[in-house]
Structure 1
Amino acid sequence: MTLKPLTATVVRRDLPASFVVFLVTVPLSLGIAVASGAPVAAGLIAAIVGGIAAGALGGSPLQVSGPAAGLTLLVASLVQTYGWRATCTITLLAGLVQLLLGAGRVARAALAVSPAVVYGMLAGIGVVLILAQIHVVLGGSPQHSALHNVLELPGQLVGHHSHAVLVGLLTIAVLVSWGRLPLPWRGTAGAVARWVPAPLPAVVAATVTAWALGWDVPRVELPDGLFDDWQAPAMPSGSPLAITGAVVAVAVVAGVETLLCSLGVDRMRPPGTPRSDLDRELAGQGAANVLSGLLGGLPVAGVAVRSTANINAGARTRAATVMHGAWVLLLALLCGPVIELVPLSALAALLVAMGYKLIDIARVRDLRNHREAPVYFVTLGGVVLLGLGEGVLLGIVLTAWMALRRLTRLSVSVEEAAGRWHVAVTGSLTFLGVPQLMGVLRQVPAGASVDLDLNVDFMDHAAFEAVHDWRLSHERQGGEVDIDEIHECWYERAVTGETSPARKSPPPGRWWAPWANRWRRNNRSSPDASEMSPRSLLLAGVREYHGQMAPLVRPILAELAFQQTPEHLFITCVDSRVVPNIITASGPGDLFILRNVGNLVPRHGSRLADDSVMAAVEYATNVLRIKTITVCGHSNCGAMAGVLAGGTEVEHLPGLSRWLKHANHSLARFVEAEPNDGQSPLSRLCQINVQQQLDNLLTYPWLHRLVEAGELELVGLYLDLETAKVHILDRQASKFVPIPDDASGDVENLSTTT
């Protein structure tokens, strides 16, 4: 029973997809073999092995492997240095290295190479391909380096106008126009034409034209049989270190290109298909390279163009990849004379188009957003001017230098106001930043009072010693140093010898501190900082948010942009000292907050109707489906002080006077309750008011039913401003109690009000 759906999928989806990929593979494999300086048959052998062996053994079912344009420059260099048979041995040994890496489950470690380096390498290869193959298109021969190809190009343009140029231009014209121009026919023929990938009709058109017109152009040469000229791989002669480097280079470049392609395939994979097993994929590629090297084929790697064609054509299992390799094998064994009709200039034109795609300028825009474009261009230039290995090494070195610079980025500022100096240090304070820091500290005169703010996420021992020695020296000269660690206590831990891990701290800038404690202190160089207008302070806070907090919360807010799903309605006072998100350690999307004077809830049927509170409650319960309503009061509440004074203090505020009448039930409950000697009357009323508002909520029949059904819970909280502690209502004892430090000490009936 299990074979039936599998067979149906293979016949209906994988078989047609395999033929599409086969049509793409053949011309590309031939062109890559020619550009690599390898026998033409080596491209077909690699395509066969990549399809059948890597397809069957790999861990990415929909990925198509074979000869890759990204390896062209490397293979061409190896062929020139060691010869073709020795290059086959290097391919075989690289496969063994990949097998070991796959068995060691280190595939993800290969992804530590920055994509900017990989994209720059591919772009460099694309430039080299274009500069070399354009000479073939023009009827000439490529030079031994990209620079010489550029120097020879003007003479090539002036001096060569053979039939090969016309073949190349025709190939490029078909490649560019195929799929863009409206087809003059409709129905099945038009659908098939759109289904066939562009490289095949481009090569077919060039071949048929050259054959029909009798043009004398260089053509592909195949042996009588695919393996007739096979010879065993030979050991390369040369320095063991150089040979080892060549083996590692093939293994790493092919492996990284394969793994990046696997990740791309995962992003495009249809629903229901499994994700790639990267370790298995790397091992499968290793086995394919061992076999390809043994049979005389090019190195094998995952290829994005063929993999994309495979997925777009409807492939669902690895059968499509395996069958495409079988199609190539049949073509090589049965259609050799047809392949020998293909002009070399047509394949060269195909490679010029492929090289253009490898450059992929769109990648630069993405890398620029992450400030990695320099890595791309340095790698590209290194590959073109120096060689593949040198260019990649340059890119890796630049990536490491930029990462080190980012990790050790340090900002040091110094200001003086009213005879007191303020030094702010932000970033990672390591030995690399010590010269910069000490240069600033030397500006502080002896005997001065200094505030040293260390807003650092890391401090190494060299930096600590520099700061500590300066502090001791400055204090011996009569100065005063006040060190404030804003991010983590690296300095304090080093002084005290504390070995526990550094605490996790809030974002830089002490976002939870009032402006008066934070912004004015950090901007005391301004002569009128203490007299700034409220509007200026507000805008300064927004600017600080944009610079420090916005990048941190942007991913969260982007995810919540079109939907909010809070589970808590939090009713509290408008008092500026009560910040719900701080006292509950919550973030965006957690609390649906309702604030008013005195955290009051008008009773059902109240003569002083107020729909604003119940509008929020109705929306929270009926639309957002919240599970908890919390009423949070606080000490020293001005609203409750006005209620306790009988409303005389707010008689001149008619709107507020009317609103506070909703607290009459709280006042009556306060009068009836027995006094508590340990509390002030105002604190008692603030707490009683919370209990009364919870009871007011239950006067609404629909809300009462939700509570009785267990679908809604009512919670009472009380914030003591002096201690910054939050207490929870114990409904059985009718009093507020401390919240247990350990979650295991929570008691459900402490918070539920019925």
Structure 2
Amino acid sequence: MSTRTERPAPPTLWPDVGASLVVFLVALPLCVGIAVASGVPAELGIVTGVVGGLVVGLLPGSTMQVSGPAAGLTVLVADTVAAHGPHALGVIVLGAGLLQVAMGLLRLGRWFRAISPAVVQGMLAGIGLVLVLGQLYPFAGQDQPGTTAAKFAGLVDLAQAALTTAVGLSGLAVGVLTLVVAWLWKRTPWRAVPGMLVAVVVASAVGVLLPLPRISVGPLTDVVDLVDLSLPNAGVLGAMLTFALVASAESLFSAAAVDRMHSGPRTRYNRELVAQGVGNTVCGVLGALPMTAVIVRSATNVDAGARTRLSRVLHGVWLLVFVVLLPGVLSYVPLAVLAALLVQAGWKLLAPAQVRALARADRAEAAVLVLTAVLIVLTDLLTGTLAGLLAAVVKTAWDMSRLTVTVTAHGEDHHHVAVRGNATFLKLPGLLETLEAVPDSRHVRVDLTGVRHLDQACGQAIDQWAAGRGGVELIHPVSD
């Protein structure tokens, strides 16, 4: 009697095709909105989305992550364009991409996982706050000021314009409508259709007859500007490094989050860093926006049932087909609708619930988060992030310097001093204060066997105290 072994059915492509269409519908308004908020032509956001799909999507590293222009880089791009001009963007993104490729080849990708979560949350919260603040202006049909201080200073005039002018009232209405529809759609039986897309369609339809500024999208060939290699200077080189570090961190943090959403192959961090670098190199050559792996589109890809990287490649194909065949459709979308989408994205970056949870769990970590976010708002992204990293290092050093010094009297002439923990220079003032307060006695025994780490500063201070006092017996740990 023969047995027949059933072969598994070959995988079907339809789940990936369906997922790619959903991701495309989410990515299209975000690509355009991020470009407009960054102060560059809307078409450049679509170029970056296409490169993210067709180039990064084909490269190894991650299976489910979707790459494209990121809301987290909007503030950085806008500041860079204001400081160096739009023509410098290409060479900056090109340099950042090459740095990412080098970091990936040097296997530095895994080190991005060592950054304090408080600093990461603080960085995202600071970016989210600046993004939300800037996008309030398009609600009222106003151009957002160039600096954060000016944005805060202009809020009173902005509120007046929003409530007293036809453009302001219309923009406020369609912006709020966009947010409400997106929020309500998640609670309907049809939430498989992206709520973001439904909100854009509904709000744009309502705003057809209203006096609102709208998107203008033309052929991609009109905005693609090949990189000018004659521009680099000290400021541009610094911007390259900032773009590379921030884009790499955002991509790899996204990878860690997306890996928890599915049971497929895990991200290979160094290869993913190379893939992101290749994508940014291509975007730089074309003069487009920088890219990262983006959590919103990546989560949408997983939720839509994607199985392979085909879905993210096809989403790039649909973006390209749309902008080539139907660019005029985007001209019906008011800028206030895109601003609403970016306010929503900024609020997600701000993540107030996560900030409150961290504050309840660890106040010191929450302080690092707040410091990072506030400095990003008051200064710039690089300064705030570096200050946050420094604060996290200092906090860690302080936590690791836990030291207890116990003084016990054995009669009037004998005292026992037990030192436990990590004796570092951060604890030196307290250690010396305790030792100098030991009462005068004929014999003092200082037990250091409980010290896990004794740095040079504390070691020298204890030796000098013992030599100056006399009658001190030091008991050191036994060496292995």
Q: Could you state the TM-score of these two structures normalised by the residue count of structure 2? A: 0.92
Matched, 1:327 2:321: no
The CA deviation at 1:466 is 2.7
Structure 1 segment 510-525 matched on structure 2, within 5 A:
none
Q: Deviation per CA, 1:257-307, whole angstroms, max 9, x where unpaired?
A: 11111111211123xx21111111000001100111222321110111111
Q: 1:438 aligns with which of 428, 432, 436?
A: 432
Contact map agreement 2:140 2:161 (CA 8 A) in 1: no
Deviation at 1:460, TM superposition (A): 2.3
**In 1, Cα distance between the equivalents of 2:282 and 2:368?**
35
CA contact (8 A) 1:383 1:390 kept: yes
Partners of 1:150 and 1:229 lie apart in 2 by 32
1:133-148 equivalences under 5 Å are 133-148=135-150
Q: What is the rounded CA distance, in whole Å, between the counterparts of 2:128 and 2:336 in structure 1?
A: 17
Q: Which shows bigger deviation, 195-204 or 409-418? A: 409-418
Secondary structure of 1:450's partner? strand
Decide which moves more: 61-70 or 402-411: 402-411
**2-side partners of 1:203 and 1:327: how far apart?**
18
Counterpart CA distance in 2 for 1:14 and 1:378 is: 42
Deviations 1:402-438 (A, max 9, x none): 1222233333343435323232322211344333322
8 Å Cα contact 1:207/1:342 also seen in 2: yes
Match of 2:203 among 191, 202, 206: 206
- Aligned partner of 1:173 in structure 2 is 180
What's the CA shift for 1:16?
Answer: 0.8
Q: Match of 2:65?
A: 63
Q: Which amino acid aligns with 1:338?
A: V
Give 1:474 shift. Answer: 3.6
CA shift for structure 1 position 153 = 1.2
Shift of 1:5: 7.4
Superposition deviation, residue 333 in structure 1: 0.7
CA positional deviation for 1:9:
3.2
- Displacement of 1:450 in angstroms is 2.5
1:446–1:474 Cα contact (<8 Å) kept: no
Kindly indicate which of the two structures has a greater share of residues assigned to helix: 2
Show the counterpart of 1:227.
Answer: 221
Mapping of residues 187-586 of structure 1, within 5 Å: 193-211=190-208, 214-223=209-218, 225-235=219-229, 237=231, 240-270=233-263, 273-368=264-359, 369-370=361-362, 371-416=364-409, 418-419=411-412, 420-454=414-448, 455-475=450-470, 479=471, 481=473, 483=475, 489=477, 492-493=478-479, 503=480
**Hey, what's the Cα distance between the residues in 1 that align with 2:33 and 2:394?**
38
Paired residues of 1:129 and 1:355 also in contact (CA < 8 A): yes
Letter in 1 for 2:393: A
Work out the CA distance in 2 between the residues paired with 1:7 and 1:346: 43
Counterpart amino acid of 2:421? G
8 Å contact kept, 1:33–1:39: yes
What's the Cα RMSD here?
Answer: 2.0
Paired with 1:203 and 1:480, the residues of 2 have a C-alpha distance of 78
* Partner of residue 24, structure 2: 22
Q: Is the 8 A contact 1:82 1:237 kept in 2?
A: no
Letter in 1 for 2:435: L
Amino acid at match of 1:203: V
Q: CA shift at 1:364, angstroms?
A: 2.2
Cα deviation for residue 29 of structure 1 reads 1.0
Q: Which runs of 5+ in 2 are unaligned?
A: 1-6
CA contact (8 A) 2:132 2:342 kept: yes
Return the alpha-carbon distance in structure 1 between the equivalents of residues 105 and 371 of structure 2.
Answer: 34
Distance apart, 1:234 and its partner CA = 2.4
More moved, 168-177 vs 27-36: 168-177
Q: Once the 2 structures are TM-superposed, how far is the Cα of residue 365 of structure 1 from its aligned partner?
A: 4.3
Given that 2:446 and 2:472 are in contact with CA atoms closer than 8 Å, whether structure 1 keeps it comes out as no
- Give the structure 1 partner of residue 82 of structure 2: 80
CA distance in 2, matches of 1:319, 1:458: 53
Structure with larger Rg? 1
Question: 3-state SS of the aligned residue for 1:231?
Answer: coil
- Determine if contact 2:91/2:228 at 8 Å carries over to the other structure: yes
Counting only pairs closer than 5 Å after superposition, residues 606-685 of structure 1 correspond to structure 2 as: none
Task: Give the letter aligned to residue 76 of structure 1.
Answer: A
Deviation at 1:97, TM superposition (A): 0.7
Distance 1:8 1:436, change over 3 A: same
Structure 1 residue matching 2:158: 3-state secondary structure: helix
Determine helix, strand or coil for the equivalent of 1:8: coil
Which letter maps to 2:465? W
Shift of 1:178: 1.4
Contact 1:110 1:252 in 2 (8 A): no
Q: Give TM-score scaled by structure 1 length.
A: 0.59
Secondary structure, aligned partner of 1:411:
strand
Are 1:87 and 1:236, in contact at CA under 8 Å, matched by a contact in 2?
no
| Residue identity opposite 1:150 in structure 2 | F
Segments of 4+ moved more than 6 angstroms? 4-7
CA deviations 1:382-416 (Å, max 9, x no partner) are: 11111111111211111121122223333334343
Q: Deviations over 1:121-159 (max 9, x none)?
A: 111111111111111112222112223222211221123
**Residue 206 of structure 1: how far off its partner (Å):** 1.4
Name the counterpart of 2:39. Answer: 37
- Given that 2:84 and 2:236 are in contact with CA atoms closer than 8 Å, whether structure 1 keeps it comes out as no
Give me the identity figure in percent.
Answer: 40
* 1:10 partnered with 2:13: yes
Instruction: Note closer, same or farther for the CA distance 1:146–1:160 as it changes in structure 2 (3 Å cut).
Output: same
1:640-695 Cα deviation digits (max 9, x unpaired): xxxxxxxxxxxxxxxxxxxxxxxxxxxxxxxxxxxxxxxxxxxxxxxxxxxxxxxx
Matching residue of 2:3: none
Shift of 1:362: 2.9
Match for 1:103: what amino acid? L
CA contact (8 A) 2:247 2:292 kept: yes
Task: Give yes or no for contact 2:89–2:287 (8 Å, CA) kept in 1.
Answer: no
Give the drift of 1:373.
Answer: 0.9
How do 1:120-131 residues align onto structure 2 when only pairs under 5 Å count?
Answer: 120-131=122-133
